[in-house]
Chains A and B, each alone.
Chain A
């Protein structure tokens, strides 16, 4: 059993929001993330899926310490991040890196590739000069960009796929324990996606790095992840092994999500579960279970009690009253 690197426990992020005009302002709270718990072990890939407004991008910002927690705790190798000393923080930065969605805005247009990739190393270590150059060249080589003239060039001379490789190289430069991948391939062309996904998997095998993969494309997440968590309105509604979740989704939302996914062949029958209505606003989530307003199986208890995340089968947890009796 591998070590747990990162653990999130009932994390919440609430944004204060004022609606209305000058005359009658209303103070509200946007519950972007509302009680999320998960853990990531060494070398594994945890995928988080969900639609817009589910809170997955906020989650990635919380994990990267780009936003502060409203409640709950994140611990890194057993130590709570709110108890971090400056050294701990630096160690965390070395251990947890990120690759974002848009290859066109994640590289500073006015820095050379060599400087971009070397930046994390320069900021966190004393490695300089020829050592630094060597490290940069090596990591660029690892991502398939071995041409020696690359570090001297600027981002605009590269394609989207190449830029994403550069972003991955930058994330690897510090030899992190974990990389947060926030929609790493969705902005890329279809034929380039396979290249990047293969690369990410190879790197995981050779370096043992863990991934927190946040994406909306179910097939991509299925391909890359060991475990998958499904988010809805800031909560985790189901989490299980990748294969298990795709073949036996238990939560009604997960079932609807998978049934709505586009087929890979015209003859694959779509037994689509049609969800009524719209996603409720995170400013005003429904009481009890957030999904009950669109759920075909909603029961009276769903409006009163928010269902806890409970194990329904081995390693497979669901937050739904339909499975409450399986205890």
Chain B
């Protein structure tokens, strides 16, 4: 088994607000191998976006702060690097795609210039070489007539096109890891489908590892090799994608899968998880899901469950699962 390109151990990141500290990421651990796609699934308030930003040390300052853990990228601890050293990593070896293509691109610069930027910074390309590379990148993301499109401004392109440009910028320096934060949420169904297929193809060509942050289990089903489910700042279950869908263990994962309306059949009534996610400022002592869990017992309220191994590569943090495993 080759060494993972990214090893995250017990990552903790807090947002220091006037009212208190928000434990946005509260002990997250996972591995990522080259060429694989890991899905991070969670709802708003689960901490998934903060986790993605933490990996690149891009938490909003001054409130955001990484308070613990380690992020080992290709053998080096990113958390120990200086800001200057991090800048050399960002955009070249680890890259990020953000959610909203409208605001990811600068409206006053041509897209050719924007794609060229990481190349100029990290690879010091210029002149003809730069132009050629930009054209090649636009072709990589299947933008038709790249020579002409290079001089377009973002507002002259559709949402799907813009998101491809964002992809081109992210992939410009052939990163080893690409963090994609809900890149398709704002896209139409058919455009989303095209875009996801494109990412998959690029991954096959370049071997980039992708962390796909999303709330949409459909995206996970289509794109991911492994999935981590986040709830209240922690990973509550992690498994290969088929195992997660066929044999979900954590009650939250189970409930989430059951509450989705399916295109293939019409249910009379959907299973709905009652209540709301907890506030990240006032996390309960034990398991964060107890208030909404049908299986919660006294131990669940008392202590946070450790990692329970269910099968090869499949882990869940749930006391009830542990009991089942021991039965």
User: A and B, one complex?
Assistant: yes
Chain A residues near B (Cβ < 8 Å): 51-52, 159-161, 189-195, 197-198, 201, 216, 218-220, 222-223, 242-243, 246, 256-258, 260-268, 270, 272, 274-275, 278-279
Instruction: State in angstroms the CA–CA spacing of A198 and B191 once bound together.
Output: 29
- Chain B residues in 8 Å Cβ range of A267: 242, 245
- Chain B residues in 8 Å Cβ range of A263: 218, 221-222
Contacts A190-B259, A198-B270 given; does A260 touch B189 at CB 8 Å: yes
Chain B residues near A (Cβ < 8 Å): 43-44, 158-161, 188-194, 197, 215-222, 241-242, 245, 255-256, 259-264, 266-267, 269-274, 276-277
The 30 sampled A-B contact pairs (Cβ below 8 Å) are A189-B44, A189-B215, A190-B215, A191-B272, A194-B260, A194-B261, A195-B273, A195-B274, A216-B188, A216-B189, A219-B260, A219-B261, A219-B262, A222-B263, A242-B266, A246-B263, A258-B263, A260-B190, A260-B192, A261-B189, A262-B193, A262-B221, A263-B221, A264-B262, A265-B221, A266-B221, A266-B222, A268-B221, A275-B194, A278-B158
- Chain A residues in 8 Å Cβ range of B264: 264, 268
Partner of B259, one of A193, A242, A274: A193
Instruction: State in angstroms the CA–CA spacing of A152 and B194 once bound together.
Output: 48
- Chain A residues in 8 Å Cβ range of B276: 159, 161, 192
- Chain B residues in 8 Å Cβ range of A264: 217-218, 221, 260, 262-264
- Chain A residues in 8 Å Cβ range of B267: 223
Contacts A266-B242, A278-B161 given; does A198 touch B266 at CB 8 Å: no
Contacts A190-B259, A260-B189 given; does A197 touch B270 at CB 8 Å: yes
Contact B256 A52 (CB under 8 A): no
Instruction: State in angstroms the CA–CA spacing of A264 and B217 once bound together.
Output: 7
Contact A222 B261 (CB under 8 A): yes
Instruction: State in angstroms the CA–CA spacing of A242 and B43 once bound together.
Output: 29
Contact A262 B218 (CB under 8 A): yes
Contact A257 B190 (CB under 8 A): yes
Chain B: minimal CB distance from A241 (Å): 11
Q: Which residue of B lies closest to A247 (CB)?
A: B264
Instruction: State in angstroms the CA–CA spacing of A260 and B270 once bound together.
Output: 23
- Chain B residues in 8 Å Cβ range of A201: 269
Which of B158, B193, B266, B274 has the most chain A CB atoms inside 10 A of its CB? B193
- Chain B residues in 8 Å Cβ range of A243: 266
Contact B218 A191 (CB under 8 A): no
Contacts A256-B190, A260-B190, A261-B218 given; does A198 touch B43 at CB 8 Å: no
Contacts A189-B215, A194-B273, A265-B221 given; does A219 touch B263 at CB 8 Å: yes
- Chain B residues in 8 Å Cβ range of A161: 276
- Chain A residues in 8 Å Cβ range of B261: 194, 197, 219-220, 222-223
Partner of B245, one of A223, A246, A266: A266
Partner of A190, one of B189, B222, B256: B256
Chain A: minimal CB distance from B188 (Å): 4
- Chain B residues in 8 Å Cβ range of A223: 261, 266-267, 270
Partner of A261, one of B160, B263, B274: B263
Chain A: minimal CB distance from B47 (Å): 14
